[in-house]
Amino acid sequence: MKKILAFLLTLFLIISMTAGLLTSATTSGFSDVTDDYPYVTALQKAGVVVGHEGRFNGEGTVSRANFAIFIARTYGLTGKPDISFSDVDDDIWYANYAKLAVDAGYLKAENGRFMPDELITSEDLFVFVEETVKADNTFRPDPKAIAPLIADFAAPVTRYQVAHVMFEIYSHLQAPKAMPKKMVVGYYGNWQAYGALLPAEIPWNMLTHLNHGFLTVSDGTPSDETFGWAPAPKYSLAFTDSWADIWMNAGCGDGGIFKVYERMSRIYPNVKIMISVGGWTRGQMFSEMALKAGTREIFINSCIEMLEKCPWLAGIDLDWEYPGVYRDPVTEGLDDPVDFGSGIGGHDVSVDKENFTALLKELREAMDKAGYQDKLLTICESADYEGTAAKQELDEVAKYVDFVNVMTYDMTGAYNDTTGHHAAVYSNEYAPFSVDKAITGYLKHFRPEQLNVGVATYSRGWANVVPGPGGKLLGQPAGNRNPAPDTGHPDADVNSRYYRGDGNSGFGKYEVTEGWSEGKHKATDMPEVVGKWYGLYPGANFRLATIKEMLKDGNRYLPFYDKEAEAPYLYDTKDKVFLTYEDERSAQAKVDYVLEHDLGGLIFWETATDVKAENFPITRTLYEGVCK
């Protein structure tokens, strides 16, 4: 009786699947598949997936028998391999699909058993993709197909998840995408793991490098940590947020962002993952660390240890902002309570000039000695070439770094008195700094392929901007230097030039708290200092997504584009706010500049402030631009 029922069920499935295949090209889609799963409809039209009674059953689990069908149809496998399985009758409906998948090497059968009813897990599907990439490293799947897999390796996959992976493979087989000819370096700040963009959702398929921000040089205080919750020794490499980096569930269980990186590196081996050290806010110890050979050695040894612990890392990016520059954390850290300044240590920072060279030389030599000749050593540099050239031995620096990320953004902002462009390609009276001016200078010292041009996915701006004669907005004076009106600061002023954005610059209202942040903020904890300086948050940093929403209201927000500078800007007629930002047009202009001058590529700050809902338009512009 069981055999008769099995035969009838098999016959029913064959008829159903055949009918589904024959009608797939003319159906309008499965009744249970919404627009959120366009890849299912695409595969249905291609005859790759079939369902039953017009339904796909996307949440259903996938057995090895089902998976073999997905594989055979995706790869267009045909024929009748001379294979037999002890647990699969040759006349059962999935038998030949199983034989084809095993014969082609996509599935394994041990001891003559196929195990058709065994469920495919997330790890199984992940490993399948990993093997696919090993066979063809030009395959770069959409991260949205991979992120659900790493969340729980033990979980059975759904038909939706398998279909998404198979769609990525099928699309690649039908129309392989060109590989990038230049670098596209994206940043990911570890604080974003608490926000809207998890590290697995980074546009991995549109990057050549990913810089993780930020680690720091430890000042020896307890909140600077290394692995195992241990305080980092002074002058060594340290986490600024060890919970985010190596402990929390950032998308694949405990292990933090680094665990996600390790897994994603297996799917995207062409993306070189770097750790960035310092940044604008956490580079206060660079100068003191680089002052002596012994303290440099402590830092260098900790870098080597990091490369040993994390073999998926492609190298170290030193983001010292900036050698030879002293920035007081109190008077100049106006917008960010975790800005520790730079050059702190009580010595003459002019000695940074030689010490920076020594640090790079010794770190490169140590990496090579440890067997890491293939690991990268990179740096960031300011768009202010003349200022940089006066404080660094750039000819010597060029000998030791693989490439330089030139930060051609933040070139003006509310720290200046008048409106202008913060990320212009070409200089004019409203853009004293620009890509062209910076690169022209750096080319005196670096090879073209060592230089990457910077792109911003956020705005800067000024409040209390009144248009000049003829409605002129560029080069106009803004409000005063007092704190913004919504800070609650005792000196707050409605005529302030400062304006709150929704990006990374500034957060919170004026307050003085005893023992604030474990005493890490030193002088900024003093009430008289905080009362004078804290609460300004210059920047008007808005994410590109917010800017695009603004521009939908054409009555309030007026868009403009400076063709000479290749830079967009907008004006908020209600709040009298001027915003300078970047869009796809200016990003393309930077791509064109890189290609014209045969530079190394582009960097952008940052992945999380691009528009996730629009599939990262700035990132896509850069990547597609360098793939042509």
Query: What does the pLDDT look like over 494-527, one tens digit per residue?
Result: 999 999 898 764 444 444 444 434 433 333 343 4
Residue 497 in contact with residue 464, Cβ under 8 Å?
A: yes
Q: What are phi and psi of 316, to 5 degrees?
A: -120, 130
Residue-level pLDDT at 15: 34
* Bridge partner residues of 231 (DSSP): 225
d(CA 453, CA 49): 44
User: Is 60 exceeded by the pLDDT of residue 22?
Assistant: no
Distance of CA 49 to the CA centre of its chain: 33
| 282-331 pLDDT tens trace | 999 999 999 999 999 999 999 999 999 999 999 999 999 999 999 987 66
Paired tokens of 476: 């106009």
Residue-level pLDDT at 256: 97
Residue 134 Cα distances to 104, 138, 223, 626, angstroms: 15, 9, 40, 23
Residue-level pLDDT at 487: 78
Distance of CA 349 to the CA centre of its chain: 33
User: Is 60 exceeded by the pLDDT of residue 3?
Assistant: no
Q: Which fold has domain 183-457+582-627?
A: TIM Barrel (3.20.20)
d(CA 454, CA 466): 30
Q: Which of 118-132, 195-209, 319-333 has the lowest mean pLDDT?
A: 319-333
| 156-191 pLDDT tens trace | 999 999 999 999 999 999 999 999 999 999 999 999
Q: Tell me the chain's radius of gyration from C-alpha atoms.
A: 28
Residue-level pLDDT at 317: 98
Residue-level pLDDT at 534: 52
Residue-level pLDDT at 27: 53
Outline which parts of the chain fall under CATH 3.20.20.80. Answer: 183-457+582-627
Residue-level pLDDT at 196: 83
d(CA 445, CA 394): 6
Q: Which of 31, 112, 109 is nearest to 68 (CA)?
A: 109
- Higher-pLDDT residue of 377 and 281 is 377
| 449-476 pLDDT tens trace | 999 999 999 999 999 999 999 999 999 9
Q: Which of 298, 238, 273 is nearest to 375 (CA)?
A: 273
Q: What is the mean pLDDT of the chain?
A: 91
Residue 55 in contact with residue 32, Cβ under 8 Å?
A: yes
User: Is 80 exceeded by the pLDDT of residue 52?
Assistant: yes
Residue 397 Cα distances to 1, 400, 534, angstroms: 81, 6, 36
Name, in order, each residue with C-beta under 8 angstroms of 30's C-beta and a sequence gap of 6 or more.
40, 41, 44, 51, 54, 55, 56, 58
Residue-level pLDDT at 21: 33
Q: Is the peptide bond before 396 cis (omega within 30 degrees of 0)?
A: no
